[in-house]
């Protein structure tokens, strides 16, 4: 017995440390290999067909949007080199510039607020649905509406500009903005007057939202004031099918008739 104890005592301590470390290493390698097995099924090579289709469609959409932004820039350049009565062309280009700004077709930067919203990490309380603890389209709409009411002049969510026709909808546990699939966490960027942050943070409706919704379920809502908030241009369609011009003098005070503009 004492021989054995003496033998164990002769083993240097680093061998014990190494032994324990190798044991933990073995566990980690096993955990890693095991977690790799189900994950490889989600790699692009053999994604379930629906998921792959959705990914391809979203990639195609991103490409179409880039193409639209590029074409709009080319059209604008061609219009600035427009031929005709020089004074009239200059005036029309100035009016087009204002209209593009109003429509959200111009990427903007300026002072403002960035609000980030993250899903709750709390365990789902009994009686609640897991979806209640996630940031939903209703959460984003509420915060965006309160930003507008606080004086915001341009707003985007994760790179999607909020234009006059922009809907926000839920798809399962995620959100579609301009029919683009957004991944959490969500970042709402808003440009506005210098006191936008104060107006939002002190508005009774925002305080009520934080208390009754965000804090109640544990959503992480963070406000950041910045002098350089970036809001991208709207890259969707500006087509009108059902809306027609009202027979009236030409917009913008120009004296010449629109002629064949109505399809």
Q: Which of 118, 193, 210, 223 touches another protein (CB under 8 A)?
A: 193
Contact set for another protein, span 232-251 (CB under 8 A): 236-246, 248, 250-251
Given the complex with another protein, which of 3 and 50 has the nearer CB atom? Answer: 50
Give the Cα separation of 221 and 153 in Å (integer). 21
Q: Does 64 bind another protein (CB under 8 A)?
A: yes
Nearest to 189 by CA among 214, 158, 163: 158
Q: Which of 6, 8, 29, 210 touches another protein (CB under 8 A)?
A: 29
Given the complex with another protein, which of 125 and 131 has the nearer CB atom? Answer: 131
Token pair 């510039």 in the structure block, residue:
97
Total residues binding another protein (CB under 8 A): 119
Contact 191, 152 (CB under 8 A): yes
Minimum distance between the CB of residue 14 and another protein, rounded to whole angstroms? 3
Give the Cα separation of 250 and 88 in Å (integer). 14
Minimum distance between the CB of residue 2 and another protein, rounded to whole angstroms? 25
Contact 72, 80 (CB under 8 A): no
Minimum distance between the CB of residue 102 and another protein, rounded to whole angstroms? 4
Strands 220-231 and 174-177: unpaired
Q: Which of 158, 174, 187, 226 touches another protein (CB under 8 A)?
A: 174
Nearest to 190 by CA among 218, 133, 232, 137: 232
Given the complex with another protein, which of 132 and 153 has the nearer CB atom? Answer: 153
Given the complex with another protein, which of 2 and 32 has the nearer CB atom? Answer: 32
Q: Of 1-9, 121-129, 136-144, 217-225, which part binds another protein (CB under 8 A)? A: 136-144
Q: Does 224 bind another protein (CB under 8 A)?
A: no
Given the complex with another protein, which of 111 and 218 has the nearer CB atom? Answer: 111
Structural element, H or E, at residue 36: helix 13-39
Q: How far from 116 is each of 52, 221, 223, CA to CA, in Å?
A: 29, 6, 7
Q: Does 138 bind another protein (CB under 8 A)?
A: yes
Token pair 């379930």 in the structure block, residue:
48
Q: Does 156 bind another protein (CB under 8 A)?
A: no
Q: Does 189 bind another protein (CB under 8 A)?
A: no
Residue 63, token pair as written in the block:
């490409």
Give the Cα separation of 9 and 248 in Å (integer). 102
Token pair 């998921």 in the structure block, residue:
51
Q: Does 67 bind another protein (CB under 8 A)?
A: yes
Give the Cα separation of 180 and 175 in Å (integer). 8
Each residue 68-107 as x (binds another protein by CB under 8 A) or -, in order, gives x--xx-xx--xx-xxxxx--xx--xx-xx-xxxxxxxxxx
Given the complex with another protein, which of 118 and 218 has the nearer CB atom? Answer: 118
């Amino acid at each position: 017995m004492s021989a054995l104890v003496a033998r164990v005592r002769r083993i240097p301590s680093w061998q014990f440390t190494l032994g324990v470390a190798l044991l933990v290493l073995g566990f980690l390698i096993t955990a890693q290999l095991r977690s790799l097995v189900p994950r490889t099924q989600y790699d692009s090579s053999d994604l379930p067909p629906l998921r792959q289709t959705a990914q391809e469609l979203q990639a195609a959409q991103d490409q179409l949007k880039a193409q639209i932004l590029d074409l709009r820039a080319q059209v604008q350049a061609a219009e600035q080199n427009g031929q005709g009565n020089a004074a009239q062309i200059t005036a029309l280009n100035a009016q087009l510039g204002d209209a593009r700004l109003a429509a959200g077709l111009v990427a903007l930067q300026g002072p403002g607020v960035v609000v980030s919203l993250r899903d709750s990490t709390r365990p789902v309380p009994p009686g609640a649905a897991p979806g209640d603890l996630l940031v939903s389209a209703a959460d984003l709409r509420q915060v965006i509406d309160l930003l507008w009411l606080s004086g915001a002049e341009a707003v985007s969510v994760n790179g999607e500009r909020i234009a006059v026709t922009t809907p926000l909808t839920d798809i399962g546990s995620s959100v579609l903005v301009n029919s683009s699939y957004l991944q959490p966490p969500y970042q709402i960027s808003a440009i506005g007057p210098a006191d936008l942050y104060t107006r939002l943070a002190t508005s009774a409706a925002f305080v009520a939202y934080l208390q009754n919704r965000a804090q109640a379920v544990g959503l992480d809502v963070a406000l950041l004031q910045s002098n350089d908030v970036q809001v991208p241009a709207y890259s969707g369609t500006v087509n009108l099918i059902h809306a027609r011009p009202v027979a009236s003098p030409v917009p913008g005070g120009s004296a010449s008739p629109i002629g064949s503009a109505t399809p």
